[in-house]
């Protein structure tokens, strides 16, 4: 999609602090981090949300999940843990309509946010 900020980041049209990239996703540091570690993992396939995935996308989704595990190991997040979040829709405060996940780590997040 030509006006999608994440598509532009993935294409290199907008600068980012790249953490990881493979055939399924592009991961970069969030520009407004909510935790000391805040990484955005954006799918390379433009879809507005998880609601757009079909059974044909299972391998693609699995590739993203595997990438999240690789990123966590690469960034040294496995000892104390991390949280993976996907916001889906306006009430969940999804600000970019492009499937993406947030990896958060670097401190106690409490028990209130699931």
Segment 34-79, tens digit of pLDDT: 999 999 999 999 999 989 989 999 999 999 999 999 999 999 999 9
Structure tokens that stand for 106 in this block? 């670097």
CB 98 within 8 A of CB 54: no
Phi-psi region of 76 (alpha: psi -120 to 50; beta: other; left: phi over 0): left
Per-residue model confidence (pLDDT) at position 1: 61
pTM value is 0.93
Active site residues: 100
Angstrom distance (rounded) from CA 103 to CA 86: 9
pLDDT reading at 23 higher than 90: yes
CB atoms within 10 A of CB 73: 10
CB 100 within 8 A of CB 49: no
Structure tokens that stand for 9 in this block? 């980041």
CB 44 within 8 A of CB 21: no
């Amino acid at each position: 999609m030509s006006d999608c900020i994440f598509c532009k980041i993935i294409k290199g049209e907008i600068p980012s602090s790249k953490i990881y990239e493979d055939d399924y996703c592009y991961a970069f540091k969030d520009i407004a981090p909510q935790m000391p570690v805040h990484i955005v993992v954006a799918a390379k396939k433009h879809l507005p949300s998880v609601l757009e995935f079909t059974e044909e996308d299972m391998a693609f989704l699995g590739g993203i999940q595997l990438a999240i595990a690789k990123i966590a190991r690469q960034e040294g997040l496995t000892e104390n843990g991390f949280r993976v979040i996907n916001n889906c829709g306006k009430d969940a405060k999804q600000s970019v309509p492009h499937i993406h996940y947030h990896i958060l780590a670097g401190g106690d997040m409490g028990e209130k946010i699931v």
